[in-house]
Structure 1
Amino acid sequence: MIQFTLKCDSDHRFDSWFQSSTAFDKLAAAGMVSCSVCGSAKVDKALMAPRVNTRQSAEAEGAPTPAPTPPARPLSEPASDAERAMADLRRKVEANATYVGGNFAREARAIHEGASPGRPIYGEARPDEARALIEDGVPVMPLPFTPGRKTN
């Protein structure tokens, strides 16, 4: 695993972990890496200093080993107003809509055509499926988060 400092086209900076540098390149090229603040898919690696373990060199010189710095906040807490707003949106969507998974395009079209009862739904659709729904006038929009059932 490798941690990169990333930067979007709006100059928001954030860190993320990847299996390798190649894995980041593949995910970024597929548009699967997005800014954690604004959601932009135009994300590149930012200039960053490598983390070097200096404990051995400090011990060899007789200097005290610095204590590890605890994180400023737990990772589960939103860091900005934008993250809090996205967390609120996610809670509202998950509380008031039905998760239909990969059947989203079919369900959305059936609801739009009256073949299924009207209800709020969310799920996943391939880009070509979403484009076809929009072209056919089915009201859909992308969500700025991955549904909870898809995260690990």
Structure 2
Amino acid sequence: MILYRLRCNDDHEFEGWFRNADAFDTQRDAGALECPLCGSKDVAKALMAPSIAKGREVAVPAPAAQAQGEVPTEIQAMHPAAQQAAELKRQLRALRRVVEENCDYVGDRFAEEARKIHYGEVDARGIYGESTPEESERLRDEGIEFGSIPWVRDDA
């Protein structure tokens, strides 16, 4: 897995994990990448400090380490693949906390609330919740932009 620092055309920066360097290009060319802040699909790699491994240790790329502080000792002691998985889980948990603190939970009414926001029936706000695959497809067909985030539990 490779962690890239990404930037959209509105200069929003965020991170993305990719299986390899070609996976980023494939996803970008297919329009599968989008900015989590504004939804722009014009996404490119941003400059970042290189990650250099020493021996069997794997360094966390500088932007992730700087944004979240030092990498916990228990992660540093793991096999490199386990380190990457643990770091990804840590980042997903942090993202979950940000969403929970800044958005309204609408449960299984997600599709309904997303439509109301999209069509101007209610004031725009951040929401999160659940939708069925069929509801998600209908939202996409209507041109309503949304994203799916793997919801990692704190105890996982």
TM-score by length of 2: 0.50
Picking from 135, 143, 146, the partner of 2:145 is: 143
Q: Counterpart amino acid of 1:51?
A: S
Is this contact kept in 1: 2:36–2:147, CA < 8 A? Answer: no
Structure 1 runs not aligned, ≥5 long: 57-67, 103-121, 131-139
Pick closer, same or farther for the CA change 1:145–1:19 going to 2, 3 Å.
Answer: same
How many pairs are equivalent? 103
Instruction: Report the Cα offset of residue 80 of structure 1.
Output: 9.7
Instruction: Report the Cα offset of residue 47 of structure 1.
Output: 1.1
Q: Hey, what does 1:18 align to over in structure 2?
A: 18
Picking from 77, 100, 117, the partner of 2:94 is: 77
Helix, strand or coil at the partner of 2:11: coil
Is this contact kept in 1: 2:5–2:16, CA < 8 A? Answer: yes
Pick closer, same or farther for the CA change 1:85–1:12 going to 2, 3 Å.
Answer: farther
Pick closer, same or farther for the CA change 1:87–1:144 going to 2, 3 Å.
Answer: farther
Helix, strand or coil at the partner of 2:6: strand
Instruction: Report the Cα offset of residue 50 of structure 1.
Output: 1.2
TM-score by length of 1: 0.51
Is this contact kept in 1: 2:33–2:41, CA < 8 A? Answer: yes
Helix, strand or coil at the partner of 2:144: coil
Is this contact kept in 1: 2:92–2:150, CA < 8 A? Answer: no
Q: Hey, what does 2:124 align to over in structure 1?
A: none
Indicate the structure (1 or 2) with the bigger Cα radius of gyration: 1
Structure 2 runs not aligned, ≥5 long: 57-69, 73-86, 112-130, 152-156
Q: Equivalent pairs: percent with the same residue?
A: 29
Q: Hey, what does 1:117 align to over in structure 2?
A: none
Pick closer, same or farther for the CA change 1:21–1:125 going to 2, 3 Å.
Answer: farther
Instruction: Report the Cα offset of residue 143 of structure 1.
Output: 3.3
Q: How does 1:2-151 map to 2 (within 5 A)?
A: 2-54=2-54, 69-70=71-72, 75-78=92-95, 83=99, 87-88=103-104, 91-92=105-106, 94-96=107-109, 99-102=131-134, 122-124=135-137, 130=141, 140-146=142-148
Q: Hey, what does 1:137 align to over in structure 2?
A: none
Q: Say which structure is richer in helix.
A: 2
**C-alpha separation in 2, matches of 1:69 and 1:100:** 36
Is this contact kept in 1: 2:6–2:15, CA < 8 A? Answer: yes
